[in-house]
Amino acid sequence: MDYKDYYKILGVEKGATQDEIKRSYRKLARKFHPDVSKEEDAEVKFKEVGEAYEVLKDPEKREAYDQLGSNWKAGQEGFQPPPDWEQNFDFGGGGYTQGNAQDYSSFFEDLFGGGRAGGQYYQSGSAGQGGFQSRGENVRAKVMIDLEDSFNGTTQSLNLQSPEVNEQGQVVNKQRTLNVKIPKGVKEGQTIRLAKQGNPGMGGGERGDLLLEIGFKPHKLYTFDGKDIYLNVPVAPWEATLGAKIDVPTPDGKKVGMKVPADSQQGRKLRLKGKGLPGKNMGDFYVVLQVTLPPSSDPKVKAYNEKMRDEIDFNPRSYLF
Amino acid sequence: MNAKKVNIVSGYILEEESALTLAELCWTCQAPAETMIRLIDHGVIMPLEGNNSRQWRFHRSSLVRADKALRLKRDLGVNLAGTALALELLDEIDDLRKQLNHYIDRE
């Protein structure tokens, strides 16, 4: 297993006081909380910070950790705690840790135990004997899909880790692969509920649910807002002024002819009803006009613009003064 | 490739499923009714209809929201008023981000 430098993870000096550790932990927990942070690996970092704090907040565990850690560098492979390292401390039986040890790294588990404590729980009761029974936890995950997937529906393969109890009554993380059908018309931020695909219950209780949050990968053309889709479409200055008929690619992969009304200002939104995301209540598709200037390096463009400047009476800033 | 891999599970879009009762909400959130009522008192979630707790019906999205609130409360040690405030600010940031997306040039 790899050695983990808990001080570095929390961004504190080795001699930090308990208060400094607490402050640093709270700050990092807020920063990396998966519900708050937009960073990709927020969840991993949040767990890492939690694990580090679990050890360093407890003076006894911290002392034990300090003793064994001084000669190792973070990330070094093949770390083995010396056989007698816990001589002066009693962690080996597990159950010492209040935190959910399965959530922590194997480094943590090897030092402070944990999984075994949970195991006793599982063994103590089974369905029908009136023992302890509870429903499994809901599991949350996020999948990123393409816009096209929402139009056509798709199947996504997910790798999930869930704690399960083996024959020895130990909690082990089991990897499983689920192929999940993503229904047509799903929108960004919606949640797909897969009944009884969460963590197993205790003592014969039923499994929790799997809640899949849907995110959309950025699209090279379109942006999204709920069920509505937006596209920036460049138009020439004369198209915006005189009106025009232009071809626009719609999100369903087709092409549609659109009328640009005369005197359309920059940023004007044109709506194509029902051309947004499909589904029970269909979204709309908005074309946002972007007036795009031809380059003045073209002598013709230059000549025409000079002519406009000299002959047209137009002051766009009249309202400023 | 093993055999387990082949079956495809399908679920429902939570937001489009039928409304929940308080009991169902507590069951799926794995939280007691008292906690849910406190979330309602702080405006974190709101019943769609019903005058008393027996008749309350909740939109499915309340489930995600209540879950999120409880996680924030537990993980960051904030009280419910603070959680409610954080959630509202997070919503606002989401909206602003979406608006911003429309302006970001995608070359």
DSSP notation for A151-217? HH-EEEEEEEEEEEE-TTS-EEEEEEEEEEEE-TT--TT-EEEETT-SSPPBTTPPP--EEEEEEEP
Beta bridge partners of A235: A291
Cα dist from A149 to A143, A155, A183, whole Å: 12, 9, 9
Q: Are the CB atoms for A171 and A119 separated by under 8 Å?
A: yes
Residues of chain B with Cβ-Cβ distance to A283 below 8 Å are none
Q: What is the mean pLDDT of residues A103-125?
A: 51
Reading the block at residue A31, the tokens are 């920063």
Report which of A187, A200, A170, A213 is spatially closest to residue A43, judged by C-alpha positions.
Answer: A213
CA torsion angle B66 B26 A213 A147 (round to 10): -100
What is the residue type of A73?
A: K
Q: What is the pLDDT of residue A242?
A: 96
3-state helix, strand, coil in chain B (%, to 5): 60, 10, 35
CA distance A294 to chain B (A): 17
Q: Do A201 and A231 lie in a common domain?
A: no
Q: Do A109 and A10 lie in a common domain?
A: yes
Residue A121, domain member (yes or no): no
Report which of B65, B5, B18, B14 is spatially closest to residue A183, judged by C-alpha positions.
Answer: B14
Nearest-angstrom CA–CA distance, A88 and A54: 19
Whether residues A177 and B5 touch (CB distance < 8 A) is answered with yes
Query: Exposed, middle or buried by CB within 10 Å (0-12, 13-18, 19+), for B1?
Result: exposed
Reading the block at residue B23, the tokens are 């009991």
Residue A128, domain member (yes or no): no
Q: Do A87 and A13 lie in a common domain?
A: yes
Average pLDDT, chain B: 82
- Testing the interface with B: which of A28, A35, A150 to mutate, by most B Cβ within 10 A? A35
pLDDT digits (tens, 9 = 90+) for A256-285: 999 999 999 999 999 999 999 988 778 999
Whether residues B76 and A137 touch (CB distance < 8 A) is answered with no
Alpha helices, DSSP H, located in chain A: 6-10, 18-32, 42-56, 59-69, 106-112, 115-124, 147-152, 237-242, 299-311
CATH of the domain at A64: 1.10.287.110
Q: What is the CA radius of gyration of chain B?
A: 18
pLDDT digits (tens, 9 = 90+) for A48-63: 999 999 889 988 888 8
User: Beta A210-216 vs A191-194: how paired, if at all?
Assistant: antiparallel
Touching check for A287 and chain B: CB below 8 Å? no
Nearest to A181 among B9, B27, B68 (CB): B9
pLDDT digits (tens, 9 = 90+) for A185-196: 898 888 888 888
Reading the block at residue A271, the tokens are 């709506």
User: Of A216, A233, A262, which residue constitutes the final position of a domain?
Assistant: A216
Number of domains comprising chain A: 3
Residues of chain A with Cβ-Cβ distance to B27 below 8 Å are 135
Burial code of A61-79, b = ≥16 C-beta within 10 A, e = fewer? bbebbeebbeeeeeeeeeb
> What is the percent of chain A with per-residue pLDDT over 90, rounded to a whole number?
33
Q: Are the CB atoms for A161 and A141 separated by under 8 Å?
A: no
**Could you tell me the residue range of the domain that residue A85 belongs to?**
6-113
Nearest CA in chain B to A158: B5
Residue A122, domain member (yes or no): no
Q: Are the CB atoms for A115 and A101 separated by under 8 Å?
A: yes
Q: Do A16 and A85 lie in a common domain?
A: yes
Residues of chain A with Cβ-Cβ distance to B28 below 8 Å are 138, 209
Residue A78, domain member (yes or no): yes
Q: Do A271 and A197 lie in a common domain?
A: no
Q: Are the CB atoms for A153 and A182 separated by under 8 Å?
A: yes
Q: What is the pLDDT of residue A321?
A: 85
Residue A232, domain member (yes or no): yes
Q: Do A270 and A304 lie in a common domain?
A: yes
First to last CA, chain A: 71
Give the DSSP letter of residue A34. T
Delineate the domains of chain B, giving CATH numbers in brackets: 16-103 (1.10.1660.10)
Residue A276, domain member (yes or no): yes
User: Of A97, A113, A129, which residue constitutes the final position of a domain?
Assistant: A113
- Testing the interface with B: which of A38, A191, A221 to mutate, by most B Cβ within 10 A? A191
Q: Do A211 and A227 lie in a common domain?
A: no
Q: Do A208 and A289 lie in a common domain?
A: no
Q: Do A299 and A226 lie in a common domain?
A: yes
Reported confidence tier of residue A225, pLDDT bands at 50, 70, 90? confident
Q: Do A177 and A203 lie in a common domain?
A: yes
Nearest-angstrom CA–CA distance, A155 and B10: 9
Nearest to B14 among A176, A190, A224 (CB): A190
Reading the block at residue B39, the tokens are 């979330």
CATH of the domain at A149: 2.60.260.20
Residue A96, domain member (yes or no): yes
Nearest-angstrom CA–CA distance, A292 and A125: 71
Query: Exposed, middle or buried by CB within 10 Å (0-12, 13-18, 19+), for A170?
Result: middle
Winning range, highest mean pLDDT, from A40-54, A61-75, A111-125, A202-216: A40-54
Residues of chain B with Cβ-Cβ distance to A280 below 8 Å are 16
Q: What is the pLDDT of residue A65?
A: 86
User: Which of B87 and B105 is assigned the larger pLDDT?
Assistant: B87
pLDDT digits (tens, 9 = 90+) for B16-31: 777 888 888 888 888 8
What string of DSSP letters covers B34-48?
Answer: HHHHHHHHTTSS--S
Q: Are the CB atoms for B68 and A35 separated by under 8 Å?
A: yes
User: Of A174, A193, A216, which residue constitutes the final position of a domain?
Assistant: A216
Q: Is the pLDDT of residue B68 over 80?
A: yes
Count CB atoms within 10 A of the CB of residue A306.
11
What is the residue type of A213?
A: E
Whether residues B64 and A211 touch (CB distance < 8 A) is answered with yes
Q: Do A238 and A211 lie in a common domain?
A: no
Q: Do A85 and A149 lie in a common domain?
A: no
